[in-house]
């Protein structure tokens, strides 16, 4: 590794390779890799960087680009592949790593990691959604990373003792978690892949490791408060929400359940290195919306009109960000970089810049900033920044689609989902599964619409633009999710099958409550109905209350009511009390008669005596 090389990491949740890249003054590339991006985008991810090294834990990764070691690992050294300019290392093979080290040293290269570098060297590349459907790489420098980390240490008075790493490497907030924690010599708590969907497993980690800091999207934290007894969360003294708008209701519920835990609302785009402003919610007036706060150290935020003039207090303006957190720009996108990163007209420094966020905000009388939404068609869903025009552009590449519009709909339950409105070239219109399959070849899963609505024409404004306000209302989309796809659907697609058993009826009722959909058939797909990881937690919790037992993983493996009913276990009231996901809650305060056993915490490998001691220390 060197400071001129981009090292791509296709790995599971482990920070060590990231730290190794930083130690060697090189940079790592992160984004929605592997599980999030389909094959085409994973290749585009690599090809856009001019990278020379690819570190992977997976034996079947094979980048198709000239100048790469593209063969699958067979235990031979990359030096044997005949391509010395680049290499692919499969860390699942210890012998491969050993041969790589031997080849490295036999070539006479120095083992010293120091090299000529400055703060302007790149630290990492984070990929975000692009308006054309291709992800764009944000170039973050060492100075940006140092600034962001030091500003975090300066602002938060309570030091990190144990941080639960919830965000994936696709989010730049994972960078905040990793470097903020390790720079203070504190503990970074990791979990097994897939456990982020299991709110009870996360709770066990909080209890086991006495986690002090939590950072997630507001919706996940809201689910934690709704599901878990607050007595299990007493170790948390700092909770940070970011990536979505923070609702006043969440602040109110937090105060009621965890009054001694500080709650902060952060704001900031990837282009400004994780965060740009922060708001302490402890003294927030619940009659008002939750602001995004004030700029962090060495950061400036301007609210400007279309002429780049500051707007008065209370008047909406576009958010522009300046300061040490501004990234270098976009990888191999000079025109887009020039468009979004402009000269700072308010600074005397010759190279000072501002980032044009596309967000709307206004100054409040107390100096805080209130977020008002977007001026374009970019949205955030479960922490992911999504360009709706990117989905529309890909949809319109389908040979049978003439026009397409995608919107983000908020349901009565408060959940949000993507809805695509499609005008076909001809009849019959393409089926839902066909459209989804087409999109999955080019877009990550989180950008796939939950519902498709077939229209003869898109509604237009008098000026000829698409009238998004006149698109079918959310209630129409919910009532008959499959039949709205096309009126001349095949019998198989439109055939509604009602629940046939008591278990199916109970599951249908639970799904209806969580998803906010009135009519549900046993062959409707949970994900296609708009279900997500947050709602899966709610489904499992309500099922336990109804005497039905299944795991979150089982729900995602059996996505229809008919399939799920086959693996559901019925449990008695006494079994619910003993084995409910919230069972630790009801017994946690009764340490004299402990109900925890080592089997409840298999990862901890504790004896009963050690477990009892841990529980006593946390009451």
| Same domain? 506 vs 478 | no
Alpha-carbon gap, residue 48 to 415, rounded angstroms: 35
Q: What pLDDT, on a 0 to 100 scale, did the predictor assign at position 272? A: 96
| Same domain? 75 vs 224 | no
Tokens encoding 37: 């991006």
Q: To which residue do tokens 């290392």 refer?
A: 89
| Same domain? 37 vs 17 | yes
| Same domain? 510 vs 361 | no
pLDDT confidence bin for 590, thresholds 50/70/90: very low
Alpha-carbon gap, residue 476 to 455, rounded angstroms: 13
Residue of higher predicted confidence among 602 and 345: 345
Whether 125 is covered by a domain: the verdict is no
Q: What is the DSSP string of 397-454?
A: TSTTEEEEEEEEEE-TTS-EEEEEEEEESSSSPPPHHHHHHHHHTTS-GGGS-SEEEE
Whether 1 is covered by a domain: the verdict is no
What is the number of domains present in the chain?
5
H helix or E strand, kind and range, residue 127: strand 122-128
Q: Which of 127-136, 159-168, 354-363, 593-602 has the lowest mean pLDDT?
A: 593-602
**Would the pLDDT of 81 be above 80?**
no
Beta bridge partners of 406: 420
Buried b (16+ CB within 10 A) or exposed e, 568-606: beebeeeebeeebbbbbbeebeeeeeeebeeebbeebeb
Parallel, antiparallel, or unpaired: how do β-strands 87-90 and 53-56 relate? parallel
Residue of higher predicted confidence among 174 and 12: 174
| Same domain? 303 vs 388 | no
| Same domain? 525 vs 479 | no
| Same domain? 295 vs 424 | no
Find the CATH number of the domain harbouring 386: 3.30.300.30
| Same domain? 226 vs 263 | yes
DSSP state of 157: S
Residue of higher predicted confidence among 74 and 314: 314
Instruction: Give all strands of the β-sheet with 213-216 in edge-to-edge order.
Output: 187-189, 162-164, 213-216, 238-241, 262-267, 277-280, 294-295
Whether 482 is covered by a domain: the verdict is yes
| Same domain? 350 vs 482 | no
Alpha-carbon gap, residue 279 to 366, rounded angstroms: 12
Distance, C-alpha 196 to centroid of its chain = 11
Whether 213 is covered by a domain: the verdict is yes
Closest CA to 414 of 510, 514, 336: 514
Whether 131 is covered by a domain: the verdict is no
Closest CA to 223 of 475, 13, 514, 419: 514
pLDDT confidence bin for 8, thresholds 50/70/90: low
Residue of higher predicted confidence among 481 and 135: 135
| Same domain? 369 vs 387 | no
Tokens encoding 397: 């590449």
Residue 309 backbone class (left: φ over 0; alpha: ψ -120 to 50; beta: rest): beta
Whether 324 is covered by a domain: the verdict is yes
Alpha-carbon gap, residue 453 to 471, rounded angstroms: 10
| Same domain? 291 vs 201 | yes
Alpha-helical runs (H) found in 258-376: 334-340
pLDDT confidence bin for 203, thresholds 50/70/90: very high
Q: Which of 117, 149, 170 is the last residue of a domain?
A: 117
Q: Which of 439, 462, 494 is the last residue of a domain?
A: 494
| Same domain? 109 vs 169 | no
Whether 162 is covered by a domain: the verdict is yes
**Would the pLDDT of 126 be above 80?**
yes
- Tell me the residue range of the domain where 12 lies: 6-117
Q: What pLDDT, on a 0 to 100 scale, did the predictor assign at position 90? A: 42
Whether 279 is covered by a domain: the verdict is yes
Q: Which of 359, 374, 389 is the last residue of a domain?
A: 374
Find the CATH number of the domain harbouring 543: 1.10.1200.10
Are 45 and 8 in contact by the 8 Å Cβ rule? The answer is: yes
Q: What pLDDT, on a 0 to 100 scale, did the predictor assign at position 488? A: 32
**Percent of the chain topping pLDDT 90:** 32
Which phi and psi angles does 88 have, rounded to 5°?
-120, 125
pTM of the model: 0.67
């Amino acid at each position: 590794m060197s400071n001129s090389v981009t090292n791509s990491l296709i790995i599971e949740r482990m920070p060590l390779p990231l730290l190794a890249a930083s130690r060697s003054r090189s940079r790592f590339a992160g984004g929605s890799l592997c599980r999030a991006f389909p094959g085409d985008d994973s290749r585009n991810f690599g090809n856009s960087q001019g990278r020379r090294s690819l570190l992977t834990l997976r034996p079947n990764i094979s980048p198709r680009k000239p100048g790469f070691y593209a063969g699958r690992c067979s235990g031979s050294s990359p030096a044997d592949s005949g391509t010395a300019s680049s290499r692919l290392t499969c860390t699942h093979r210890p012998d491969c790593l050993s041969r790589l080290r031997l080849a490295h040293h036999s070539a006479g290269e120095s083992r010293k990691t120091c090299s000529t570098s400055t703060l302007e060297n790149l630290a990492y590349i984070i990929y975000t959604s692009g308006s054309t459907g291709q992800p764009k790489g944000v170039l973050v420098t060492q100075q940006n990373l140092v600034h962001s980390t030091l500003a975090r240490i300066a602002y938060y008075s309570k030091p990190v003792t144990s941080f639960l790493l919830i965000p994936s490497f696709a989010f730049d907030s994972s960078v905040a978690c990793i470097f903020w924690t390790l720079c203070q010599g504190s503990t970074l708590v990791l979990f097994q892949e897939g456990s982020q969907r299991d709110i009870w497993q996360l709770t066990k980690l909080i209890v086991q490791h006495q986690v002090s800091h939590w950072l997630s999207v507001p919706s996940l934290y809201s689910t934690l408060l709704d599901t878990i007894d607050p007595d299990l969360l007493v170790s948390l003294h700092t909770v940070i929400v970011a990536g979505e708008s923070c609702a006043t209701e969440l602040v109110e519920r937090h105060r009621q359940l965890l009054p001694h835990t500080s709650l902060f609302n952060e704001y900031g785009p990837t282009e400004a290195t994780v965060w740009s402003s922060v708001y302490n919610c402890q003294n927030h007036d619940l009659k008002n919306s939750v602001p995004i706060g004030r700029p962090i150290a060495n950061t400036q935020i301007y609210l400007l009109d279309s002429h780049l003039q500051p707007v008065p207090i209370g008047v909406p303006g576009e958010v522009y960000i300046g300061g040490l957190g501004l990234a270098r720009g976009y990888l191999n996108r000079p025109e887009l970089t020039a468009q979004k990163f402009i000269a700072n007209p308010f600074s005397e420094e010759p190279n000072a810049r501002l980032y044009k966020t596309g967000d709307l905000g206004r100054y409040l009388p107390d100096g805080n900033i209130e977020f008002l939404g977007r001026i374009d068609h970019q949205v955030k869903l479960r922490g992911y920044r999504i360009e709706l025009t990117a989905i529309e552009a890909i949809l319109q590449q389908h040979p049978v689609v003439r026009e397409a519009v995608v919107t983000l709909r908020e349901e009565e339950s408060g959940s949000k989902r993507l809805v695509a409105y499609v005008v076909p070239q001809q009849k019959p219109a393409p089926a839902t599964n066909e459209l989804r399959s087409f999109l999955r070849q080019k877009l990550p899963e989180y950008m796939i619409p939950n519902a498709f609505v077939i229209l003869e024409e898109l509604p237009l404004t008098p000026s000829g633009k698409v009238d998004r306000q006149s698109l079918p209302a959310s209630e129409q989309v919910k009532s008959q999710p499959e039949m709205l796809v096309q009126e001349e659907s095949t019998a198989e697609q439109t055939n509604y099958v009602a629940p046939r058993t008591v278990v199916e009826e109970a599951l249908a009722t639970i799904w209806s409550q969580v998803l906010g959909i009135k009519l549900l058939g046993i062959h409707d797909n949970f994900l296609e109905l708009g279900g997500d990881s947050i709602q899966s937690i709610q489904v499992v919790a309500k099922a336990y209350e109804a005497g039905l037992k299944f795991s979150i993983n089982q729900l995602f493996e059996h996505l229809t009511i008919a399939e799920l009913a086959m693996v559901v276990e019925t449990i008695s009231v006494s079994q619910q009390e003993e084995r409910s996901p919230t069972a630790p809650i009801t017994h946690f305060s009764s340490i004299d008669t402990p109900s925890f056993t080592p089997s409840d915490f298999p990862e901890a490998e504790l004896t009963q005596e050690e477990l009892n001691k841990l529980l006593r220390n946390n009451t």
